[in-house]
Amino acid sequence: MRCGDYIITGRDMDFFNSCHEEDDEGNIPLNDVFQADLDISYDDNGEMLLINGNLSFNAPISEGAVMKARAEVYKWRRGQWMKTMFSLNRNNLCQVFFSPMEIWYEAVKNIVEEERICPPKSDTIYHLVNVPFQGRIPDILVPDLAGTYKVVIHVTLDEYIVCTSAVADIWQA
């Protein structure tokens, strides 16, 4: 059974929002750990994001700190966010951060080799220059994936836990 590929399009132009109180399990505000100074726009056909700017890390991070990530995905149904079967858990995010197998790879593959520091140090800056990004979910056996989704991501970096969220629309390619 072939269900088709799906495209992910961001709902707003700020993908590094602090979480709402009901979702936030962090112990430090997002902006205290890193700053996103990004210009995000859509290409001419409105399907591909173009990202320019810097991601800068501010917090002191211990040498050899392990970076973890946990994401939960919710779908907007009947006027509320409903948990889905989709989630992501990476116990060592640095091992897979630049992996072509990850959904975010298209956004990070253009970071130059010298800047691929993971875990980031307190003065690490990732420069993003004309980075095209279109999230794509390859053919999976889910017949009706289209809709509006929210992803809530908790990242643990050293003793810090930050929460970020984004809303996106998913539609069949």
pLDDT digits (tens, 9 = 90+) for 121-166: 888 898 888 877 766 666 665 667 889 999 999 999 888 899 989 8
Ranges 1-10, 27-36, 98-107, 158-167: which has the least confidence: 1-10
Calculate mean pLDDT across residues 39-49: 76
> And the tokens for 108?
């990070």
- Determine whether 142 is exposed, middle or buried from the number of CB atoms within 10 Å of its CB (0-12, 13-18, 19+): middle
Q: What whole-number distance in Å separates Cα of residue 151 and Cα of residue 23? A: 10
The CATH fold assigned to 4-172 is: Ganglioside M2 Activator Protein; Chain: A, (2.70.220)
> And the tokens for 172?
């069949």
Tokens 């993908």 belong to residue: 15
Q: What is the pTM of this model?
A: 0.82
pLDDT tens digits along 62-97: 888 889 999 999 999 999 999 998 899 999 999 999
HEC string for 96-156: HCCCCCCCCHHHHCCCCHHHCCCCCCCCCEEEEEEEEECEEECCCCCCCCCEEEEEEEEEE
In sequence order, the 6+-apart residues with CB closer than 8 A to the CB of 170 are: 6, 7, 8, 9, 137, 145, 146, 147, 148, 149
Cα→Cα distances 138→3, 4, 74, 86, Å:
9, 7, 19, 14
Q: Minimal CA–CA distance to 165: which of 58, 65, 39, 81?
A: 81
